[in-house]
Amino acid sequence: MSAENLYLHYVCDGAPRRRQTVSRDGLRDLVTARRRAGKRGVSLERYADAPPGADAFTISFDDAHASILAHAAPVLATLDMPATLFVPTAFVETSPEFLSWEDLRRLRDAGWTLGCHAHTHPRMGWRLHDEDEAGHLARLRSELARSLEVFDRELGVRPALFAYPYGEAPPIARRAVREAGFDAAFTVAADLDWDGDRLAIPRVDALDEPARSETPTGFSVIVPAYDRVGILADVVTRLASQTYPEDRYEVIVVDDGSSEDLGPIFEDMPANVRLLRQGDADFRAGQARQRGADEASHETLAFLDADVAVDPDFLWHLDWVHRRVEGAVLLGYLSGYNLHDLGLIHRPREVLGRDVRALPIILDRSREPTLRACLDNLDWLEDPWPLTYTGNLSLSKALFDRVGGFSDEFVGWGLEDVDLGVRLHRGGGRFVFSRFAVGHHVVDPEEDGWRNPFREREPSLARFEGYLQNLAILARRHAEDDAVQRYVERSRADIDETCARPMTVGIEVGGAARQRSAHHARLHHVQPGGVPLHELLDRVAYAEKIGAQTVYVLGGEPAEHPDFFPLLHAAAAAVSWVSLQTMGHAFAAPGLAARARDAGLRGAVVDVFTCSDALHDALHAPGCAARWRRGIEALRAAELEVSARLIVTPRTAPELESTLTWLETEGISLSEVIVLTAADPHFGVKDIQHIIPNGVQRSVR
């Protein structure tokens, strides 16, 4: 038995409104109650030397949330209680939710132990689609090495302690942690039984939400189906073979007017699996799901698509959440889902009849950027409803009925689930995301008549007629909701781009940069850890699919992305011209510009604030101007086509004419002007338009 190792995530002042959050008073009570029981509060660092016994307790926090410095540190300081913070280094300074490096220095100097929580907070047990075991291990090694390098660069420390993201510590993760040299590593467990392995020390949730019932949740699993007999038979067989108690779930398959006979699939199924039929009027997935919900006999509805294969313990993963979170709208993971078909799919021959637990994961590329930014905490999001996919969704029947279920206005493919999500969110549903309730989305690339027009290689606007009608219905049903209207406009823009087949495709790499101006967050969309290579290559594949001629790489300093060169090589193989947007400083590194040219880079658009070195340094950091100038010189020496993105602020505006003169003297063309007005709302394009050359694109932020 180990010490009582308690872990927490977030702390608030007042009553908690988010999951995984303790109040300041609750944190104080947690410590004092254990001390009254005779337990000693000790540091997790003890595990690196002499592990504490059952008479001790420890406190640690995961994820480096800003509330740790604001609320946890003052409370624990008054109690003289040591604590550890496990930091996923990619998330530091990426949003107001997370601590800055200066904040972490303050915690370090106050006596906190800083541990490693990996770099990008991955599920370390997931093998990705392009990896064998060796590739999986190599990625984990790189993940840990990057985190340790950042710790050393920013804090001058090398953490001795590690906490597995999501508490998951399979053998391959332990091997990577051992090879990285950590003294002790911590999992998440239901109890404190410990076998003495210092790379698998259990921690328990200090806020462990007690199950609201001792009885497993009753589930009605609803699957709308249309043809695809082979895939459907596999999906239903998996559902019929769950390890879950048979009397606590049923499977209702609703035939949405199939041309094939689905009946034989159900001839030998157990009594809790049944088939319903509705007439063939059109593709009506929402109405089929509603029919299943109307016939459901259990208190919780679990919607799955007919091409989503799950593992034998799938319902237990749903049960864990629903027994603990009242009003949960549980979004499960969809491996292999992608709005656009780019070839990364789970094919029937790879899935049917096989144990899906052994399959690699194809990242849910449509939702991953949003999920990463909030570390899967959907209650951080003002509007989580765009993530509502009924391919893997569960919720109480009472909540479903209260918001009116599926609307029968939507016909054809798409948006009936988003409409439901809007109403669930507005109706008080608590959105929760799970990376353990995984469904594998099976796609047959030989299938004719795809319902999703985005998957076609050359779709016409006519193919989107039904989807556009559904968008209009969504906009009308939520006419007063600005967030829905923005969603509709983004969706229409996506359709326009897909059908117009643009000549240039932009690829955002994530906004990271070591040398940042004070305006960085307004100029770049920052994603923790940068966009993974898999997603970057998806975007390259999209550019190739639509026949684009140019790829434009942007977002912070692309040259600092760890996969910068693989991205360049892939882009150069797919299109005829590769350019990037750069802050310039990174290319001061000897040979970098030439290497980028040799990898396929042809052009660079450099951010220019001013030609004044003193002002440039004031906006960035001392010495930055010299590196910026060397970077520009290196790009030009590599014979790349160099142009400028001019960024004008109230502070740099007085230098604008001299900066334009400098650009002209240097022979650097001007591609764009961005005017930043935050510091002075009365300042804008009108103040400088007489200076900016005609024909140059202008925007205000």
CATH code, domain with 359 = 3.90.550.10
- Among the listed residues 173, 147, 217, 183, the one whose alpha carbon sits nearest the alpha carbon of residue 51: 183
Contact 641, 552 (CB under 8 A): no
Give the C-alpha separation, 287 to 256, whole Å: 9
Q: In this model, does residue 692 exceed pLDDT 70?
A: no
Backbone dihedral angles phi then psi of residue 472, each to the nearest 5 degrees:
-65, -40
Q: Among 477, 492, 515, identify where a domain stops.
A: 477
Q: What is the pLDDT of residue 526?
A: 76
Confidence of residue 38 (pLDDT cuts 50, 70, 90): very high
Q: Determine the distance from the C-alpha atom of residue 196 to the mean position of all C-alpha atoms in its chain, rounded to a whole number.
A: 34
| 512 or 482, higher pLDDT | 482
- Among the listed residues 94, 97, 73, the one whose alpha carbon sits nearest the alpha carbon of residue 84: 73
Query: What is the pLDDT averaged over residues 426-431?
Result: 96
Q: What is the pLDDT of residue 15?
A: 87
Q: Could you tell me the two tokens for 314?
A: 């799938």
Q: Which tens digits make up the pLDDT trace of 621-636?
A: 898 999 999 999 999 9
Question: How many domains does the chain fold into?
Answer: 3
Looking at the chain, the whole-number percentage of residues with pLDDT higher than 70 is 95
Residue 541 located in a structural domain: yes
Give the C-alpha separation, 185 to 642, whole Å: 48
Q: Is 21 strand, coil or helix?
A: strand
- Per-residue exposure over 661-687, b if at least 16 CB sit within 10 Å of its own CB, e if not: ebbeeeebebbbbbbbbeeeeebeeeb
Asked if 150 and 266 sit in the same domain, the reply is: no
Cα separations (Å) of 247 from 209, 217, 219? Answer: 25, 11, 10
Asked if 192 and 265 sit in the same domain, the reply is: no
Q: What is the pLDDT of residue 498?
A: 82
Rounded mean pLDDT of the chain? 90
- Specify the DSSP class assigned to residue 361: B
Give the C-alpha separation, 542 to 594, whole Å: 27
Q: Among 150, 179, 205, identify where a domain stops.
A: 205
Q: Could you tell me the two tokens for 189?
A: 């467990």
615 contact partners, CB below 8 Å, separation of at least 6: 609, 651, 652, 655
Give the C-alpha separation, 419 to 475, whole Å: 10
Q: Which tens digits make up the pLDDT trace of 292-323?
A: 999 999 999 999 999 999 999 999 999 999 99
Give the C-alpha separation, 383 to 395, whole Å: 18
**Residue whose structure tokens are 């969706």:** 491
Query: What is the pLDDT averaged over residues 151-161?
Result: 95
Q: What is the pLDDT of residue 193?
A: 87
206 contact partners, CB below 8 Å, separation of at least 6: 6, 7, 8, 22, 30, 59
Give the C-alpha separation, 17 to 67, whole Å: 13
Q: What is the pLDDT of residue 562?
A: 86
Asked if 656 and 539 sit in the same domain, the reply is: yes
Contact 586, 617 (CB under 8 A): no
Query: Burial, 49: exposed, middle or buried (Cβ in 10 Å; 0-12, 13-18, 19+)?
Result: exposed
H-type helices in 164-276, by residue range?
Answer: 171-180, 229-240
Asked if 533 and 433 sit in the same domain, the reply is: no
Give the C-alpha separation, 521 to 95, whole Å: 9
Q: Write the CATH number for 39.
A: 3.20.20.370
- Name residue 394's beta-bridge partners: 302, 330
Residue 420 located in a structural domain: yes
Q: What is the pLDDT of residue 211?
A: 73
Contact 12, 380 (CB under 8 A): no
Residue 547 located in a structural domain: yes
Q: Which tens digits make up the pLDDT trace of 350-378?
A: 999 999 999 999 988 788 888 988 999 99
Confidence of residue 497 (pLDDT cuts 50, 70, 90): confident
- Specify the DSSP class assigned to residue 206: T
- Name residue 604's beta-bridge partners: 580, 642
Q: Could you tell me the two tokens for 482?
A: 């600005």
- Specify the DSSP class assigned to residue 216: P
Query: Burial, 445: exposed, middle or buried (Cβ in 10 Å; 0-12, 13-18, 19+)?
Result: exposed
Q: What is the pLDDT of residue 307?
A: 94
Asked if 201 and 223 sit in the same domain, the reply is: no
Asked if 200 and 242 sit in the same domain, the reply is: no
Give the C-alpha separation, 217 to 502, whole Å: 49
- Among the listed residues 322, 321, 288, the one whose alpha carbon sits nearest the alpha carbon of residue 304: 288
Q: Is 353 strand, coil or helix?
A: coil
Asked if 539 and 666 sit in the same domain, the reply is: yes
Which range of 91-95, 166-170, 519-523, 649-653 scores highest in mean pLDDT? It is: 166-170
Asked if 383 and 467 sit in the same domain, the reply is: yes
| 274 or 50, higher pLDDT | 274
Residue 376 located in a structural domain: yes
| 649 or 352, higher pLDDT | 352
Give the C-alpha separation, 674 to 649, whole Å: 9
Asked if 183 and 311 sit in the same domain, the reply is: no
Residue 487 located in a structural domain: no
Q: Which tens digits make up the pLDDT trace of 442-496?
A: 988 777 666 788 777 777 888 889 999 999 999 999 999 999 999 999 999 988 8
Give the C-alpha separation, 400 to 398, whole Å: 5
Residue 643 located in a structural domain: yes
Q: Which tens digits make up the pLDDT trace of 387-423?
A: 999 999 999 999 999 999 999 999 888 899 999 999 9
Contact 626, 613 (CB under 8 A): yes
Q: In this model, does residue 238 exceed pLDDT 80?
A: yes
| DSSP letter for each residue of 126-145 | PPBTT--HHHHHHHHHHHHH
Domain that holds residue 412: 219-477
Q: In this model, does residue 701 exceed pLDDT 70?
A: no
Provide the Cα torsion 359, 364, 370, 373; round to 10°.
Answer: 30
Q: What is the pLDDT of residue 531?
A: 82
7 contact partners, CB below 8 Å, separation of at least 6: 59, 60, 61, 62, 163, 186, 188, 203, 204, 205, 206
Residue 489 located in a structural domain: no
Q: Among 477, 510, 533, identify where a domain stops.
A: 477
135 contact partners, CB below 8 Å, separation of at least 6: none
Give the C-alpha separation, 413 to 222, whole Å: 18
Asked if 150 and 248 sit in the same domain, the reply is: no
Give the C-alpha separation, 596 to 567, whole Å: 10
Opening angle at CA 134, ends 133 and 138, nearest 5: 120
Give the C-alpha separation, 448 to 692, whole Å: 53
| DSSP letter for each residue of 161-203 | EEE-GGG---HHHHHHHHHHT-SEEEEE-SS----S-TTSEEE
Residue 488 located in a structural domain: no
Give the C-alpha separation, 188 to 186, whole Å: 7
Asked if 44 and 186 sit in the same domain, the reply is: yes
**Residue whose structure tokens are 């103040």:** 687
Asked if 23 and 63 sit in the same domain, the reply is: yes
Q: What is the pLDDT of residue 595?
A: 96
Q: Write the CATH number for 617.
A: 3.20.20.70
Q: Which tens digits make up the pLDDT trace of 246-300?
A: 999 999 999 988 888 999 999 989 999 999 988 765 668 889 999 999 999 999 9
Give the C-alpha separation, 596 to 615, whole Å: 29
